Chains A and B, each alone.
Chain A
Amino acid sequence: MTGAVIVTDAGFAADDWRGSRLPLGDGLPANAEAVDVVPVDDVATLAGHLDRLSLIRVAFPNSADGRGFTLARRLRAMGYRGRLRAAGHVLADQYAMARRAGFDEVEIDADLAARQPWEQWQARADWQAHDYQARLRG
């Protein structure tokens, strides 16, 4: 694969999103169907728009920056039920965290996909097992 790789519980795949994507920035354009969120964005400004969004893509500038996990939780708590993607420097060992935080999928570049092949992600794809949070939240 040469382009971006989408990781889901089922394996690696090419990106099937064909629509446009707009940055959240200072506000959401009225016609947006998908939005790019960076860690400093205030996702509260998406309230009221969530129903018409098909994809929210949260950037992970580097694997040590965990802000995206909290943004995902917030979006889910606000009621977003659409496709939620973690995009950028996410490691195979973080896959279970991303899924548990509410992401549906992870987008990585071809280079990272080559260094961390599917087997390494698959090893963490049983993210619903051994989950203290699920136990505490009932």
Chain B
Amino acid sequence: MYAYTDFDRDFLAERNAQFRAQVARRIDGSLTEDEFKPLRLMNGLYLQLHAYMLRVAIPYGTLNGGQMRQLAMIADRWDKGYGHFTTRQNIQYNWPELRDVPDMLDALGEVGMHAIQTSGNTIRNVTADHFAGAAAEEVADPRPVAELIRQWSTDHPEFQFLPRKFKVAVTGSALDRAVTAAHDIGLRLVEREGEIGAVVLVGGGLGRTPMIGKVLADFVALPDLLPYLEAVVAVYNLLGRRDNKYKARIKITVHENGIEEIRRLVDDEYVTRRAAFNGADMQLFGKISADFAAPDFVDGAGDYAAHYADDAIFRSFVDTNTAPHRHKDYSILTVSLKAHGATPGDATSDQMRVLAELAESYGHDELRISHEQNVILPHLPKRHLRAVFDALSGAGLATANIGLASDIIACPGMDYCALATARSIPVAQEIATRFEELKLEHEVGPLKIKISGCINACGHHHVGHIGILGLDRAGVENYQITLGGDGGPDAIIGERAGPGFAYDEVVDAIERLVRAYLAIREGADETFLETYKRTGPAPFKAALYPASEKAHAA
């Protein structure tokens, strides 16, 4: 893992001291809220429905046990004993007092963490594949590239006041667990003639105008990557619309100007940008890469096979929550923060400490946060899986539902968010509880349900196999359902199924969809999404709107 240099530490201390002074000026009244706003946003501090909210970056989703313990300490000392992991590999504290925030930032700084550029119209926290460095099929570890981009984008003097926010994601796997096609820039690391480089996608994004990113460059070698990114963002900074915030994202810039014109402008800009780099970035990259060297894996699976054969509950947990690791005697374990009925992505300080302890004792001291709002032990020896399972069970963290119907992504919704038009969390809780009662989700298999509480789509509903969008219709919550979305390598925006549902009708509607799938699938191997692609929306719409189908037939 990346270890902060003296430079990083000094930068962060200076930045935190600046913000402490700004907070003091706000509290003594010399800064108005309007004047304070851009300053606090640059440091991740939002004003939400009920209180301030501090959004802390977990760069590319990677942290160690000590960092997780510090997140737990912060939750206990300055918040209400829990934190919320978001779809962008951040953790949010929902109840801080303004006067405490500088101390919280200093506490983060002690473990090499920060809240810089987690908001505002700037390059945001760089996200990456949460199985990075561990996945069996990976081409290259995306984290050194993501860390290089973190350093380049942090406090970048040119790009702190872009037309709109700017999100970058990096994957090193063809399976693309980072949803790169739904980002302003998506980077897919590939190998060409022995050299690692990136396919550069541009103009993806969800929100009110969902778009899939387009290929801007089919290969940019690593030494050319920062100048190339700089060219893209500089072109956007000048060309992006500033007259309408809803048309200001680069996806609209690409849509209105065409990908060919954007490519021409970027190629022009690139020439001088490239000349401004002399290779120092690649020297740093070498040091960063060394920090991300794989741990020393230990051979041997112990009595794992016997536990797996003897205990059906343990077997189900392993089958559902682990993925293949690059080392044969290891697993990647995803710990679900979606216990049936719980708030998706919430973790208590006690749970954080359990996860930290397990990472330190068994998992080479590494943890990951996924955009699907779960926590991952990326390097877990199979010989320790049983002990880890037992410890997780004792902490309420052994829910075997990864990738299943109750592993729902949900934005905070109207319970916390000032922008939301409907509740998200209770809908997720009730769907999960329903599937638990039905004991159906293992039979259903892979199914991604994603819920957003407003059109800004923080819950990624457009790329859910089943997407749910909560809107406000004349003061009443109304939930639209989209079908067939996919956030994988061949990303697809889901199609709206028809009229929306009232709050108390949504869970029944989702159950009807799932039962329709079970009735028409060509065997247990055909997933929900595969069935949808084969049959199209008709049988699913018939299940959603049985009465209107009859009316239509008559």
27 residue pairs from A and B, CB less than 8 Å apart: A64-B161, A66-B158, A66-B159, A66-B160, A66-B237, A67-B237, A69-B161, A70-B237, A70-B238, A74-B234, A77-B272, A93-B38, A97-B160, A101-B158, A123-B21, A130-B14, A131-B155, A132-B11, A133-B152, A136-B152, A136-B284, A137-B276, A138-B277, A138-B278, A138-B280, A138-B281, A138-B283
Q: Which residue in A101, A129, A135 is a CB contact (below 8 Å) of B157?
A: A101
Tell me if A24 counts as interface (CB < 8 A to partner B).
Answer: no
A130 pairs with B152, CB closer than 8 A = no
**Closest residue of B by beta carbon distance from A124:** B18
Considering the chains assembled together, what is the distance between the CA atoms of A9 and B15 in angstroms? 19
Q: Pick the most buried of A91, A123, A129, A136: most chain B CB atoms within 10 A of its CB.
A: A136
- B138-177: which have CB < 8 Å to A? 151-152, 154-162
Residues of B in contact, count (CB < 8 Å): 38
**Closest residue of A by beta carbon distance from B281:** A136
Residues 513-550 of B, flagged 1 when their CB comes within 8 A of A and 0 if not, give 00000000000000000000000000000000000000
Q: What are the residues of chain A within 8 A of B15 when measuring CB–CB?
A: 130
B277 pairs with A137, CB closer than 8 A = yes
- A88-119: which have CB < 8 Å to B? 91, 93-94, 96-101
- Would A135 and B158 be within 8 Å (CB), given that A66-B237, A123-B21 are in contact? no
Tell me if A51 counts as interface (CB < 8 A to partner B).
Answer: no
B157 pairs with A136, CB closer than 8 A = no
B278 pairs with A67, CB closer than 8 A = no
Interface SS, B side = helix
Considering the chains assembled together, what is the distance between the CA atoms of A27 and B94 in angstroms? 53
Tell me if A2 counts as interface (CB < 8 A to partner B).
Answer: no
Q: What are the residues of chain B within 8 A of A94 when measuring CB–CB?
A: 160-161
Q: Which residue in B121, B272, B280 is a CB contact (below 8 Å) of A135?
A: B280
Q: What are the residues of chain A within 8 A of B277 when measuring CB–CB?
A: 136-138
B242 pairs with A65, CB closer than 8 A = yes
Considering the chains assembled together, what is the distance between the CA atoms of A59 and B447 in angstroms? 52
Taking A69-B159, A130-B11 as known contacts, 15 extra A-B pairs with beta carbons closer than 8 A to each other, sorted by chain A number, are A63-B161, A65-B161, A66-B159, A70-B234, A70-B237, A73-B158, A100-B157, A130-B10, A130-B155, A132-B151, A132-B152, A135-B151, A136-B280, A137-B278, A137-B281
A69 pairs with B14, CB closer than 8 A = no
Q: What are the residues of chain B within 8 A of A69 when measuring CB–CB?
A: 157-161, 237
A66 pairs with B161, CB closer than 8 A = yes
Considering the chains assembled together, what is the distance between the CA atoms of A123 and B10 in angstroms? 16
B residues sitting closer than 8 Å to A (CB atoms) are 7, 10-11, 14-15, 18, 21-22, 38-39, 121, 151-152, 154-162, 226, 234, 237-238, 242, 272-273, 275-281, 283-284
Considering the chains assembled together, what is the distance between the CA atoms of A119 and B121 in angstroms? 27
Tell me the smallest distance from the CB of A99 to a CB of chain B, in Å.
Answer: 8
Residues 50-75 of A, flagged 1 when their CB comes within 8 A of B and 0 if not, give 00000000000001111101110110
Nearest 5 A-B pairs (CB), nearest first?
A: A138-B280, A66-B161, A100-B157, A97-B157, A77-B272
A77 pairs with B155, CB closer than 8 A = no
B276 pairs with A70, CB closer than 8 A = no
**Closest residue of A by beta carbon distance from B285:** A136
**Closest residue of B by beta carbon distance from A78:** B272
Q: What are the residues of chain A within 8 A of B278 when measuring CB–CB?
A: 137-138
Considering the chains assembled together, what is the distance between the CA atoms of A77 and B270 in angstroms? 11
Considering the chains assembled together, what is the distance between the CA atoms of A101 and B156 in angstroms? 9
Q: Which residue in B38, B156, B276, B283 is a CB contact (below 8 Å) of A77?
A: B276
B162 pairs with A66, CB closer than 8 A = yes
- Would A133 and B161 be within 8 Å (CB), given that A67-B237, A70-B234, A138-B280 are in contact? no
